Amino acid sequence: MDANNIALASMNRSHLFMLAQEMDKHNKLRNFYIGYPNLFRKTLFKSKNNIKVHHIYQSLFKLRKFLFLEDKNNITEIIAWKVAKNFDCWLTKELKKDTVKILISESTYSNNAGKYMKSNSGKYIVERPCSHVLWQEKVLKENADKFGQMIRLPTKESIDTDLESYHNADKIIVPSKFVKKTFEDFGIKDKVKICPYTRGLLGGDKIDCDVIEKIKRRGFFKKNLNILFVGSASLRKGVHILLEACLKLDLPYKVKFVGSLTDFAKELMSIETTFNFEYVGGLKGYALAEQYLNADLLVLPSIEEGYGMVIPEAMSYGTIPIVSSNVGASDLISDGVNGMIFQSNNPLELTEKLTIFAELDIENKMKLVNNCLGSRSSQSWNGYFKKMMQLIKED
């Protein structure tokens, strides 16, 4: 596959945005089609003439973000679908003006653009950050029905678009073995390739591992089990599983939530008044790094998570991850060596894992910490770029 004339398209500032920057540095980026809002600056790229911004999309983006609330209703998903369709239409028109041989984009907002590429002897590569859309719909609906919750589910139009994109794609790039398995469950195998996202420190690579070890060892003398949850506390992220597991613990604990609390999470926590938690709000940079440093464990109990960047972030600070088997970043973990893995949707097993950790002596806890730090990679977005280029070149 010719890797000398590549375009990327992204509706937001995501991993594809970071990939575009790396490709731009290495003179491998033909064009970058972006729907990022007003804060976007072309100064982030050296080849400014190759960056094309969908300005009309910006107002739609803001409307979508304003209504993009998990526990509302499917109106938000309908708006998201309309926005994606609008971006796809613009992208297709732009491609017709340009000379592009390979397009890399997420499926939901590039289906027509992908069909145009195929009709003009080009290549279409779908980058899918989460599970197969039908697998995702099934697992989310099962959990929503269990709790009588209204949850955002893909619209029929969105599902049909994704399925058509999968069919038309020359390759489907996914971040983890878990995501690949969900595609295999629906009969898509050979064209699905794994390209894990980067990992690294939030505060830069200057933090001293000896300092981390001292902080962790000091923390392990405390009686409470200090648990951290980072992200949107929602049904999809398994907040109910974490809550149920903690209520079964026969030991002192405290859960700190960093990110946002959905209405679903607030309702659960108002009912279960014995649940010991603290909500610290959304944090970034060093403020978030401090939470990682002072936590014993990061728990990510998602029922569906394509990767989970918080896992490598936590490991970079010696914070031991306990994750669901449906979290893609579980690829980074050897159970019992540098973290723990429990079966998705199994709060009892999570309770057991938390108890096992709590009962370890300090030296064995420090082994887990050191293994987290030892498994830390120096891989940057440049590593993601190199792996992606290798996959593009493969026939």
Residues 222-232 pLDDT 10s? 889 999 999 99
Please report the domains of the chain, with CATH numbers, ordered by start residue: 6-198+380-393 (3.40.50.2000), 209-374 (3.40.50.2000)
**Stretch 9-36: mean pLDDT, rounded?**
88
- Average pLDDT of the chain is 87
Indicate whether 2 pLDDT > 90: no
pLDDT band at 84 (very low <50, low <70, confident <90, very high): confident
| Phi, psi dihedral angles at 102 (to 5 degrees) | -135, 130
* CB of 327 closer than 8 Å to CB of 230: no
Amino acid (one-letter) located at 126: V
Helix (H, G, I), strand (E, B) or coil at 98: coil
Indicate whether 272 pLDDT > 60: yes
Which residue, among 339, 137, 335, 132, has the nearest Cα to 236 in the 3D structure? 137
Helix (H, G, I), strand (E, B) or coil at 110: coil
- The confidence score (pLDDT) of residue 338 equals 94
Q: What's the CA gap between 312 and 314, in Å, rounded?
A: 5
**Stretch 380-390: mean pLDDT, rounded?**
87
**Stretch 154-169: mean pLDDT, rounded?**
92
- The confidence score (pLDDT) of residue 114 equals 96
User: Sign of dihedral through CA atoms 242, 244, 245, 250?
Assistant: positive
- The confidence score (pLDDT) of residue 70 equals 42
Indicate whether 149 pLDDT > 90: no
* Residues counted in the chain: 395
pLDDT band at 71 (very low <50, low <70, confident <90, very high): very low
